[in-house]
Amino acid sequence: MYPVRPFVGIGIVVIKENQVLLCKRGKPPNVGSWTLPGGAQEAGETCEDAARRELLEECGLVAGDLQFCAYVDSIRRDDSGRVQFHYTILDFATRWVAGEPAAASDVTAAIWAPMDALEPYELWPEAHRIIGIARRLLG
């Protein structure tokens, strides 16, 4: 099904010392790719509530204080040029509080990855940009 309008997506960067939380996607788009936790905002839900819900649903973690980090426009076209996926993603940043990640709902894996060695995860360039902004925001 092709969208008639963009959807609001929410992402969250969770930093634990010199590590960042990554998830392996279990659903389209990008099944099997490593990414930041997140998902679609639901009607009646604030952006921050959506970030907290997605983090809990996907990784079993509770977010601490959230800071708005940045936005990303994710537009994917099919071979004929039609828009197949269109998300405007609002990313938040937080520090790890407690617990260990456990994959659930839309992801098949959730791990702490060293921020200085992310190459094996083949992250989308925008994910690298967002992680960099979160590092600066959280000091």
**Residue 28: per-residue pLDDT:** 78
Under CATH, to which class is 7-138 assigned?
A: alpha beta
φ and ψ of 8, to 5 deg: -90, 120
Of 10, 8, 12, 7, give the one whose Cα is nearest residue 133: 12
Predicted TM-score (pTM) of the model is: 0.91
Comparison of pLDDT for 54 and 30, the residue scoring more: 54
- Break the chain into its structural domains and give their ranges: 7-138
pLDDT tens digits for range 38-93 = 999 999 999 999 999 999 999 999 999 999 999 999 999 999 999 999 999 999 99
Which residues fall within 8 angstroms of residue 23, CB to CB, at 6 or more apart?
34, 35, 36, 37, 58, 59, 103, 107, 109, 110
